[in-house]
Amino acid sequence: MKKLINDPNDVVVEALRGIEAAHPELQVDHQHKVIYRGDAPKQGKVGLISGGGSGHEPLHGGFVGLGMLDAACAGEVFTSPVPEQMLAATKLVDGGAGVLHVVKNYTGDVMNFEMAAELAAAETGARVVSVVTDDDVAVQDSTWTAGRRGVGVTVLLEKIAGAAAEQGRDLDQVAEVARKVNANGRSMGVALTSCTVPAAGKPTFELGEGEMELGVGIHGEPGRERLPLAPASEIAAMLVEPILADLTFKPGDPVIAFVNGLGGTPLIELYVMFNEVARILAGHGVPVARSLVGSYITSLDMAGASVTLLKSDDELLSLWDAPVNTSALRWGI
């Protein structure tokens, strides 16, 4: 294992210190491992929080700031945060208009956010609404989920719902936008290598030199099948076609197309993949209205990529275009 770390057990703690040092506009509650906006809570604005196991950076901490999240909870690597962390984050961002919890569909995340919402209501009277993302078309049930996994659409949802909250929409309206994004977004990924969790010191799974895992999860969970390595054009089709088959498209329905790196794939390869994705979509008569290419929801050092398509309309595109200022996404400022 070759990693830029000190003690494997201190990776999350030390990374949070690095985030605090690099981004003075953010604050870090080190006791609860919460990254939050320096201007939180914003009175009268719906607060947005999310979180999950570390190792998926920049998700979620990289999306804290104007136009996205108000706070993010960092669990240990690939381990859900505990309810006390989520409760602390909820309290930090509650400006009186309620708080939206954005939860990826993993059993630990769903259970712990649910407990945190109940605790917040009991302790402070805060109104909390949760929206669960479950956009992965690869498998129905997986290692840590009942139902589909929450993956790439989470990034798009945090941006779009964050913009709605920034506009001053109320909690029910922000939650409605978030549910709309989840309902209209689908994702699928492929791994070319495993990842290596620092505390484990060895790859999570074995993948032969000429093999790839189609439909892999962001923690290295098994996908649909293990196949011989193929050219980018064929891999793109293996990812895009199941997404298109799972969503109902009318001719001309625009999409936000997101090609995401899983942590160990160079940007040049992601653009090769995006070219193939765009070609396939054009062949289906699906226009790409907006695009995002880069490593935004990762699996440590895993080589591979995922594709997320969000069927959009004028409302979602307007919210996507709205200003955002976070460490990982920034435009319109």
* Domains with residue ranges and CATH for the chain: 11-184 (3.40.50.10440), 185-331 (3.30.1180.20)
| pLDDT at site 250 | 83
Q: What is the pTM of this model?
A: 0.97
How distant, in Å, are the alpha carbons of 8, 95, 100, 210 from that of 56?
A: 16, 28, 21, 25
Predicted confidence (pLDDT) at residue 80 exceeds the cutoff of 90:
yes
Distance separating alpha carbons of residues 251 and 241, to the nearest angstrom = 16
Looking up tokens 């941006």, which residue turns up? 159
Predicted confidence (pLDDT) at residue 143 exceeds the cutoff of 80:
no
- Percent of the chain surpassing pLDDT 90: 94
- Percent of the chain surpassing pLDDT 70: 99
Closest CA to 35 of 14, 53, 45, 49: 49
Total count of residues recorded for the chain: 333
Predicted confidence (pLDDT) at residue 41 exceeds the cutoff of 80:
yes
Q: Which residues are catalytic, by number?
A: 56, 219
| pLDDT at site 140 | 76
Predicted confidence (pLDDT) at residue 259 exceeds the cutoff of 70:
yes
Q: Which of 66-75, 126-135, 138-147, 298-307 has the lowest mean pLDDT?
A: 138-147
The two structure tokens encoding residue 227: 């196949």
Q: Which helix (H) or strand (E) holds 184?
A: helix 171-184
| pLDDT at site 145 | 67
| pLDDT at site 146 | 77
Q: Which of 227-241, 243-257, 282-296 has the lowest mean pLDDT?
A: 243-257
Q: Tell me whether strands 71-77 and 34-37 are parallel, antiparallel or unpaired.
A: antiparallel
Q: Which residues contact 263 (CB under 8 A, 6 or more apart)?
A: 195, 295, 298, 299, 300, 301, 302, 303
Considering the chain, what is the average pLDDT of its residues?
A: 96
The answer to whether 226 and 194 have CB atoms below 8 angstroms apart is no
Closest CA to 293 of 273, 276, 314: 273
| pLDDT at site 142 | 67
| pLDDT at site 136 | 96
Determine the distance from the C-alpha atom of residue 162 to the mean position of all C-alpha atoms in its chain, rounded to a whole number: 13
